[in-house]
Amino acid sequence: MSFQQKIPVPHANSRVNNTHWEVTIDAVAHLLKTSEDFLLLDCRSREEWEENRIPDAMNLPLQQFSTRCHELENHRDRPIVVYCRTGRRSAILAKFLHLSGYPHVRSMAGGIEAWQEQPGLSSRD
């Protein structure tokens, strides 16, 4: 089963259609619950990440990406789910990573704000 088949893509209702790049909150929760092999990448600032984050996420702020992108090289062929506060920064980074040769990358729709609204999902404070 391919990464795209494992992760359903939500329908977008916004002006910018990111459906090709997005994955649902429920799908990410399922991947975590079933211990799937994927990288969860938080592209928010270090300060945002320290306030709250999804357990086991790697922090690589979008603002530092140009100087730290080498840290992702070992994950090039792994599925990657990127998240930020609302899903805007992560969509940008997901598109960039895909164009840079990362074939299995998605942005978590709604970001950590949507994650925190879901009952039963936790973030670290």
Catalytic site residue from 84, 94, 108, 109: 84
- As a whole number of angstroms, the distance between CA 43 and CA 85 comes to 9
Q: Is 69 a catalytic residue?
A: no
CA angle 87, 88, 91 (to 5 degrees): 80
- As a whole number of angstroms, the distance between CA 105 and CA 22 comes to 9
DSSP conformation letters of 83-114: E-SSSHHHHHHHHHHHHTT--SEEEETTHHHH
Strand partners, 81: 40, 106
Active site residues: 84
